[in-house]
A and B are shown apart, each in its own frame.
Chain A
Amino acid sequence: MTDSAVPVVLIVEDEPDVAETYNLWLADDYEVRIAGDGDEGLDRLDEEVDVVLLDRMMPGLSGDEVLERIRERELNCRVAMVTAVEPDFDILEMGFDAYLSKPIRSAELIETVEKLLERSTYDRLLQEYYALVEKQATLETAKSGAELAESDKYARLQSRVADLQEELSQTMGGVEDDTDFITAIQQISGSEDS
């Protein structure tokens, strides 16, 4: 996700009325793409998509199969699974980032999309933070305390580390609930493989 562009949401839903309802709720704040089945969803998916709303039960490719292919393509999008029944949060182990159970209310849908975008921001900040911490550690291990005290570069780095630390704690209030916590860890473990 780039900061300047409007976030893109892809709706994959086989019932046109339902898809259109989601579109009405989201179109003011997001660029919305609609796909009527799993194959079309995969066609309309590219690097620009930030969030996918994926119906689990569809004719043709199921939501689970679509998810698997999304993950194979190593795209950075977040996927919310839309289910008929409320699953246990263990289902997050399957690689979904959130779930919504039907019928979905507008406030709930908007909140989920916002949450998923915030999590992407958190992951990006954590990555930046780690890169700075590595740089800082490199200087700390290479130079003496006196050299560090005189180094402008080190001072600037330290203040950027502190700023990012603050920004991270403001994003998602750190890691507030269980789902945030588990998906944040999954994101970390997943990025190791790529």
Chain B
Amino acid sequence: MYDLASVLKTEAVSNVRPGTSILIAGPAMTGKESLAIEILAEGSRNGDGALVVSTGDSAENIVEDYRDRVAGVSNLQLGVVDCRAEGSNGSLADGDTPPGLHVHKVSSPGDLTGIGIGITKCLEALHGAGAENGRMALVSLSTMLTYTDRETVFKFCHVLSSRLDAAGYVGVFTIDSGAHDDQTLQVIKQAFDGLVEIRDGESGREGRVMGLTDGPTDWTAL
């Protein structure tokens, strides 16, 4: 079981079943991606493997930010699939594996097969490195939706969730709720087991969890 309670500030998610996939939805600039990465970081502090699939940030930035977050953790196991690698020439190359790190670069967020292969290779590497449990974050579906239609993104999420289920991982995916019409959001939600809604409340960022418990949880400050 995965304990997401300390990051999401509700006991409702202290026992999340392996194979659960969760959508994090909220307006722009509400820290959805940071929240997703923090869910991974919390896992890393407990020895879980971590896999970040990014459509917006370079592998180099992700690794640097992640290492800062989990400073002091020994035997960190991090996989990164950088989906914006077209023409990039950062210090990390495709297939690079410095200790504890597995990097794969994919030409574009529209190359779903390439992303799938990158995820597969990272999952294999993390498993091979002894990480029995793991957490994956995909940031963000909104970018993917600008490259690919909603039918394809829906099916991709469904297939990826099944793969994570087989691996016993928990998956978090972010979407900018202001960037898509209601129909798109309703369809994409259906590909996930649970939903974390984020909003700007009176006292700052608030969140609530739906789908993982009998009813939605109360809005809580994050």
- Residues of A bordering B, CB below 8 Å: 90, 93, 126, 129-130, 133-134, 136-138, 140-141, 161, 168-169, 173-178, 181-182, 184-186, 188-189, 191-192
Contact = CB atoms under 8 A, between A and B. Distances in A.
Nearest to A190: B113
Contacts of A130: 151, 154-155
A125 B43 CA distance: 34
B112 A188 contact: yes
Given A137-B187, A174-B166, A178-B120, A192 B149 contact: yes
Interface of B: 112-113, 115-117, 120, 124, 148-149, 151-152, 154-156, 158-159, 162-163, 165-166, 182-183, 186-187, 190
User: At the interface, is chain A mostly helix, strand, loop or mixed?
Assistant: helix
A34 to B, nearest CB: 32
Contact of B113 (A140, A168, A177, A182): A182
A54 B165 CA distance: 33
A-B pairs, top 10 by smallest CB distance, nearest first, are A174-B162, A137-B186, A175-B162, A185-B116, A141-B182, A188-B155, A133-B190, A189-B112, A184-B159, A137-B187
B183 A192 contact: no
A32 B113 CA distance: 32
A176 B186 contact: no
B159 A134 contact: no
A170 to B, nearest CB: 11
B163 A175 contact: yes
